[in-house]
Amino acid sequence: MKTLAYLIARNCKVYFRDKGVFFVSLMAPLILLFLFVAFLGNVYRDSIRSAAEGFVLSDALVESIAAGWLISSLLAVCAVTIAFTANTIMVQDRVTGQADDILVSPVPRSLVALGYFISTFLVTAAICFVALGAGFIYIGVAGWHLTAADIFLTLADTLLLTLFGTALSSVVCHFLRSQGAVTGVQATVSAAYGFLCGAYMPIGSLATGLKNAVMFLPGTYGTGLLHSHLMGSAIGEAGAGLPSNAAAQVIKGLRDGFDCNLYFFGNAVPEWTCYLVVSAAILLLVGVYVLLCTKRK
């Protein structure tokens, strides 16, 4: 355990020592939040009003729902993209020969791999929670409707998605042997992942074939959990003062339109199934990572 702690501390120090990489990683979620608000905020507000099934929503409530969508989308993307940035330590050690120096010492290869995994998780979680703190401030300014249960579940969702991003990046980065390769992978993931997991655009706005395809991706279910927990309470307020039938219609329209409710080929996906899918994906990726590390010559 002491050796593992040394390896984790060493990896974290190497990452944070590069002030440029750390600053970019820390600023990336905040810049993404600014871009969301500045360029896509009005698009989402108009979509919320359209999804209200013809009922008029107050500007304050629309702003609160839009803030929940923006922050949940931000966290869903950052939990994976930042994990790829944090995992560059593994590739850099191979490029510079540090990995060979470490393996010369009497340290099991499995312990070295575990050190990379845990340090990536800790770095990613630290940056994601900074982004979440900024997100809570933004939601508070826009209109606070979150309950204590929403906050707790959002924290759990963030940790779960961070673990998923860490496992995915560990498997992918295991095959990379140059800085150019990891840069290319980071650029590809940053550009494509937000669309594939339903963070940038609601799944309902996609073409039918693509809509069905993204439902096979575990990240979609993690994003749906964040949407539900950061938007659910505000959406519930949309039915206040309306007859029960009208309130149910408005709430269902908003939850369906903004991926709080997920459907797999027309069948509603319960929340516990979303947790099960993401957890199963994490276990599978961790198993693959362990197999790669133990079988590598």
Closest CA to 128 of 164, 95, 97, 94: 164
What element of type H or E holds 201? Answer: none
Residues 171, 285 contacting (CB under 8 angstroms): yes
Burial class (CB in 10 A: 0-12, 13-18, 19+), 107: middle
**DSSP 8-state code for residue 176:** -
Helical spans, DSSP H, in the chain: 2-17, 19-35, 41-51, 59-86, 88-96, 98-104, 109-142, 148-173, 179-196, 208-214, 218-237, 244-257, 271-295
Q: Mind listing the pLDDT tens digit of every residue in the chain (297 residues)?
A: 788 888 888 888 888 887 666 666 666 666 777 777 777 777 778 888 887 766 777 888 888 988 899 899 889 988 998 898 888 888 888 877 777 777 777 777 878 888 889 999 999 999 899 889 988 998 999 889 999 999 999 999 999 999 999 999 999 988 887 777 877 887 788 778 888 888 888 887 787 788 888 899 999 999 999 999 999 888 888 877 677 777 788 888 888 888 889 998 888 999 999 999 999 999 999 999 988 887 755
Residue among 218, 223, 250 at smallest CA distance from 58: 250
pLDDT at residue 19, as a whole number: 67
Residue 247's contacts (CB-CB under 8 Å, 6 or more residues apart) are 238, 239, 240
Question: In this predicted structure, what is the pLDDT of residue 149?
Answer: 94
Q: What is the pLDDT of residue 54?
A: 67
How far is 33 from 191, CA to CA, in rounded Å?
15
Number of continuous H segments (helices) and E segments (strands) in the chain: 13, 2
User: Which structural domain, as residue segments, surrounds residue 97?
Assistant: 2-295
pLDDT score at 280: 96
The string over 261-292, giving b where at least 16 C-beta atoms fall within 10 Å of a residue's C-beta and e elsewhere, is: bbeeeeeebebeebbebbeebbeebbeebeee
Question: According to the model, what pLDDT value does residue 147 have?
Answer: 92
pTM for this predicted structure? 0.89
Per-residue model confidence (pLDDT) at position 210: 84
For the chain, the domain total comes to: 1
100 dihedral zone (left: phi>0; alpha: psi -120 to 50; beta):
alpha
**Residue 28's pLDDT is what?**
66
